Amino acid sequence: MTIAVLLALFAGVLVALSRQINARLALSTTALAASFWNHIVGFVVLTILGLVLGGLWPEGALSAPWYAYLGGTLGVIFVASGSWLIARIGAINTAMLVIGGQMISGVLLDLLGGADDNFVYSALGVALIIAGMALTQRRGE
Amino acid sequence: MTVSTRPSPLHLLLAFASGGLLTLMVDFNGLVALHGNALYSSWVAHGTGTVAAILFLALMRQRPFPAKGGAAPGTPLWAYLGGVSGAVTVMLTSTTVNSPLALSGTLALGLGGQVVFSLAADRWGLLGLPRRMPKPRDFAAVGLIFAGSMIIIFGRS
């Protein structure tokens, strides 16, 4: 359990580290170029991992609905926008605003899917997130 | 180099939309992982993403290298390695979601790790980016967004 906690924390650190590294590349190239390198390097690493560990072409590989395979394309835009933002508003603002957008859109997606049994918690959470996002917008000290 | 830029409404909107994109992306990639496995899903996402990025670069008449051939001047080699970190993340999270932490614990701790690293990255200008001293109000905003996220994550489980 302790190891799982450390791994999960480290995964979060790696998300932020990756964004910071891509933003550094975007400084001397462009945000889109940084996103390209992120994906091609990740692809090479995962190919090697897959060849070593196996499971690179599992059964049912192409049986998911077609739109599910658009995840990678969305990822290109996601990485590019993160690289662009971080140089302009800093790492913590980028991280928190993206997390806020992720949480609120997740709640909306749940509601659209008809899952509203946690409505009170979700509404309270969304209210706190909006308050936090508003706080980043206030001028002056 | 120290900057103290506040996010403008445009930045806020873009970051927010990017978070929405992330929700869809996680949903789609999760669907692929359900039919295959986590490694396969990430591999496919990076492969199709590479092709998409090449198309986007061509459409916008950009090059992955600004100068002819070779790395951009003044770019350290490690700056091209952001994708390694992303690939390892998949391995870690697909392990932890199947541990007692489950999805909610993985998400919550992952947000914690992001917050700590991002604050440090701004404070010391890590990896060649501008330094940005966090102010008390930044901590208040982080606290509110983090608390709201925790309520949503654990309210769902």
| Domain ranges across chain B | 9-68, 84-157
Q: Judge whether A31 is closer than 8 Å to chain B, CB to CB.
A: no
Question: Phi first, then psi: what are they for B131, rounded to 5°?
Answer: -80, 145
HSE on the CB side for A31, CA within 13 Å?
Answer: 15
Taking only residues 17 to 46 of chain B, the set having a beta carbon closer than 8 angstroms to any beta carbon of chain A reads: 17-25, 27-29, 31-32, 34-37, 39-46
Does the ipTM surpass 0.85?
A: yes
Distance separating alpha carbons of residues A3 and A8, to the nearest angstrom: 9
Segments making up each domain of chain A, as ranges: 2-56+68-137
DSSP A55: -
Distance separating alpha carbons of residues A93 and A82, to the nearest angstrom: 11
Cβ within 8 Å of residue B78, ≥6 positions away = A21
Task: Give contacts of A28 with chain B, Cβ < 8 Å.
Answer: 66, 72-75, 79
Which one is predicted more confidently, A59 or B124? B124
Tens of pLDDT along B85-116? 988 988 888 888 888 888 888 899 999 999 99
Do residues B147 and A128 make contact, with C-beta atoms less than 8 angstroms apart?
yes
pLDDT tens track, chain A, 141 positions: 789 999 999 999 999 999 999 999 999 999 999 999 999 999 999 999 999 988 888 888 888 899 999 999 999 999 999 999 999 999 999 999 999 999 999 999 888 887 767 789 999 999 999 999 999 887 654
Residue with tokens 């701790």: B109
Distance from CA of B127 to the nearest CA of A (A): 7
HSE on the CB side for A49, CA within 13 Å?
Answer: 17
- For residue A110, which of A118, A98, A120 has the smallest C-alpha distance? A118
Tens of pLDDT along A29-54? 999 999 999 999 999 999 999 999 88
Cβ within 8 Å of residue B26, ≥6 positions away = none
Do residues A79 and A35 make contact, with C-beta atoms less than 8 angstroms apart?
yes
pLDDT at B3: 55
Do residues B25 and A106 make contact, with C-beta atoms less than 8 angstroms apart?
no
Do residues A90 and B3 make contact, with C-beta atoms less than 8 angstroms apart?
yes
